[in-house]
Chains A and B, each alone.
Chain A
Amino acid sequence: QKEVEQNSGPLSVPEGAIASLNCTYSDRVSQSFFWYRQYSGKSPELIMSIYSNGDKEDGRFTAQLNKASQYVSLLIRDSQPSDSATYLCAVNAPPAGSQGNLIFGKGTKLSVKP
């Protein structure tokens, strides 16, 4: 059974701080990794994708991938109250290059306090 695990939180950080969100996955052959943001009662919104080991930066967001450790993380710099949401980690289900049969984690709820 392929699994994606996340700490459900809530993770509470003060405004302006760095929020660090973590995710582990069980299937070693997974190739594509995504972070989605989901506000309460809304649909998931893609914010980052990462395919290679290392860091990928996009504005205030940095995704980090370590395939050897089967670990992916998301850093949010200068956190804002508007970043308060649940962050979903999603991993593609092999075979590699297949369509969007993503496996989602349960999500980490982030709360940014003014």
Chain B
Amino acid sequence: EPEVTQTPSHQVTQMGQEVILRCVPISNHLYFYWYRQILGQKVEFLVSFYNNEISEKSEIFDDQFSVERPDGSNFTLKIRSTKLEDSAMYFCASSRDREREKLFFGSGTQLSVL
């Protein structure tokens, strides 16, 4: 069964460093998303992406965050200057056109900012 893949599974970084989280969505999906979940908290929407541009973004997704689809398969989330409070599990998700609200999540990247 096709799945969303994310790399790395764990990322440790120093405060102020840039990190790039990578995702390969399901191949026939057209909508891509990043969510995050701070330990013990809710899953929170960050950004949605369609047709090579951001469709919607939340208040969390400030100027420190950016997304890119550099080729036909990868979807990346960049955090330019990480803060301690960016420590969370980051989930990539994708959905197909006909049922675009049915999200399929990747296994996540656990980001730890020290």
Closest CB-CB distance, A23 to chain B, in whole Å? Answer: 12
We find that the number of chain A residues with CB closer than 8 angstroms to chain B is: 22
Given A44-B105, A106-B42, CB of A98 within 8 Å of CB of B91:
no
Residue interface mask B10-50, A partner, CB < 8 A = 1? 00000000000000000000010100000001111100101
Rounded to whole angstroms, the CA-CA distance of A5 and B93 in the bound complex is 23
- Which residue, of B33, B91, B93, B103, has the highest number of chain A Cβ atoms within 10 A? B103
Residue of B nearest to A90 (CB): B43
Flag whether B101 is at the interface (Cβ < 8 A): yes
Residue contact B107 to A43, C-beta cutoff 8 Å = yes
Q: Are B103 and A45 in contact (CB under 8 A)?
A: no
Taking CB atoms, residues of chain A closer than 8 Å to B91 are 43-44
The interface of chain A, by Cβ under 8 A from chain B, is 32, 34, 42-46, 49, 88, 90, 92-93, 98-107
Name 26 interchain pairs, CB-CB below 8 A, sorted by A.
A34-B101, A34-B102, A42-B108, A43-B91, A43-B106, A43-B108, A44-B103, A45-B105, A46-B102, A88-B43, A90-B43, A98-B55, A99-B33, A99-B50, A99-B95, A99-B100, A100-B33, A100-B48, A100-B93, A100-B102, A101-B45, A101-B48, A104-B42, A105-B42, A106-B42, A107-B42
